[in-house]
Structure 1
Amino acid sequence: MLSNVLKTTWPLFLGLAFLMLGNGLQGTLVSWRANFEGFSSSTTGWIMTAFYIGFLAGSMYTGKLIREVGHIRVFAALASLASTAVLVQILFIDPFAWLVMRLVTGFCFAGVYVVVESWLNARSDNESRGRILSIYMIVSYAGLAGGQLLFKVADPTSVSLFLLSSILLSIALIPLLISRVTAPIEEESENMSVIQLIKISPTGVMSMTLTSMATGVVLGMGAVYAANSGMSISQTAVFMSVFIAMGALAQWPVGWVSDNFDRRLVIFGLCVVASCLSVILYQMDPKSTYFVMLFGLFGAAALPIYSLSVAHTNDRLKPQQMTSASSTMVLFSGIGAAAGPITVGYLLNAYGNSMFLVYLGGIHFILGAAVLYQISQRKAVPDEFQVDHQLMSSRVTAIALEAVALDAEESWKADEEAK
């Protein structure tokens, strides 16, 4: 029963909410403050990319730590380290120090996500797994969007917001440490090779990589673009929050459509919308309310592409392959997310602030053209073999993707038995 699972997992959801608030605030704060401190856009790009490199490393190696010392100890250690890393950035206003701290922060956040996701996956049963995953993603998106709004509660040129982010990360420890929750047993899983996954689902791999680049650009360099465009602190907070909130809300209708049509056509349609909106936004005043509203619509088109990419990839996999492919999917999305801020940072340095929108539009144009080509080369997966769409954040680890795979595999088996 879902209610029984929630009784044992609510501390995880509560801790996750505080973690995401701190993470959302920190990402915008660091990029905005780096720009304020006079760091070049390329330097800021490296700093923001360091988070995704750390995240990728953490998602790969945390499982070993959990098997050695346990979920609770790993969660506590990594959350404390992430909280400390924020404070170090106050003490040392230096690009290299910030890059190292963002690397550490990314590793820590990946680690705590692995803990939360593996815990939820172990505590879920066949009946509740899909709904538990949905709740997890809703809490993640709500916390991330809410963290952006916290950017305007204090002066970002002072130490207050760094302290607030650190406090939120520290509070996240409390629900888990004071509750009687039994940790699951962590098991090692086998990974699918990169080449094998590309052969099975070239569209899914390409789509995951490119859409992760776009998301990494907005979350990593969006505050820099906003500051350089003359947006106020309050406008910057709303600008970032609306992108995430609209993207999260669009997941349900987009997911329903993709369950009933060729997902590649849905991805192509979203790319067309995102590309067109980029062109319109390029010609508008970034400080206007209409610009922020349209950028929210851009988020509604861009953010759901990742979960569609995961679903399309699972459509092409055999049920027994889905779990082993999860870590390889995270590898591609991590590479894309890391590449985005670096490349945009250099482009902003060389050609100006407008390259932010040009880059986002260009990525979606290229992805749309590539998907259209794949549609002409490969047949669509029949409707009866498509897995159900599952709400996904672009910052999940292989554990969450494994849970999606298990849910899809169980649904497939249920359908086969019904026949």
Structure 2
Amino acid sequence: MSVLGQWKQDQGRRGDMTIAEAYDLLVGASDQVHFEAYDGSSSGPADARYQVRLKNPRGLAYVAGAPSSLGFARAYLMDDLEVDGFHPGDPYDLLAILDTLLEPRRPPAAEAVRALRAFGRAALTLPAPPPNEVPSGVHRALHGLRHSRRRDAEAIHHHYDVSNRFYEMVLGPSMAYTCACYPSDDATLEEAQANKFDLVCRKLGLKPGMRLLDVGCGWGGMVRHAVREYGVTAIGVTLSAQQAAWAQQAIEADGMSDRATVRYQDYREVTESGFDAVSSIGLTEHIGIKNYPSYFEFLYSKLVPGGRLLNHCITRADNLHPGIKRRGFIDRYVFPDGELAGAGTIIVAMQNAGFELQHEENLRRHYARTLAGWCRNLVENWDECVAETDLRTAKVWGLYMAGSRLAFERRQIELHQVLGTRTEEGGDPHLPMRPDWGV
């Protein structure tokens, strides 16, 4: 008799399931995970690499109320679910195993009912979510319509205003919170971030005396690199007050205040025009797919004829399922209201706004490596990161970055750079016949 057959026969003799048996049915067993519940039941090898303990009924209620990565994350963040065998700053190896286990399962109806009995009242009641979870549904709508200026500002504040010191420890000296571009296998994270900014500058064809607009500029890394290395005059805008303050201080320290500025400002409030180049690095994910047409039309209007736009953003791996899982972990804990589309959707929107598409490339594998570097920094600075924020926030970042690394590696998401020009009416794009920016 098979193991599954023996298991079913045993269940028929015993009646209701234990919590561990229900866990195996709804989640799945792994020889690398030992699961133990507060009712004394367990499953998996006792000497498994990862030891998972469900400590109390509240933790069970989280898992039963959202039987997916969200439910487990809630229980883990509230310390109702303990896991040994990994560092909370980089749970990559654990998530690689759980990624397949936490896919929703559809057991036969009769067995599902028995599993629910094992959960008891926890299957019917859901405790309040952890304090750092962003409200969903009508509660979030009270803060304005999706992608209104007020609600966008609050979403950006939630993620980017954690603490500048926290970001310094996680991101490193570059303070670049976007995908790096590794010029070689042995390049460091800092070298790769500098190479990314330089690649963008070269694609934009920057030269001394040009004017650059950097929308969603973060801590001003692109602005400072372009001014320092290419002699341009640059304006950066961000919806994070903490980012703007840090960036402006760095600009002053670098002695470039006469040529560079970073503002705490919505990109839609930029009144200047006549820019030779626009860089959008990691902003498109936040603006909303329905706003793509107006977004790219706005950026097109800011350019001189022959000017260039470089759009750098996370995308889906196809163009069939736009949007976000609005009730998932990323939406509730990391990027409220974030939306992803396929690279084709972005290209169509750019073309429809008037841009002539000149070049496109996928840096997906570079982002996986970037995230591994950030997780390494979080592990190395764990105690200080926890002291700077709190334990739950640090654990969220470990889950989010390691999970994102896994998603990039498995091509669940990608990172695309798309270069477009505001080509002259006569057809001159102010671009060489072949790309001259190298790799």
TM tier, smaller = under 0.3
Over alpha carbons, which structure has the higher Rg?
Answer: 2
TM-score, normalization by structure 1: 0.26
Point out the structure with the larger strand share. 2
TM-score, normalization by structure 2: 0.26
Point out the structure with the larger helix share. 1
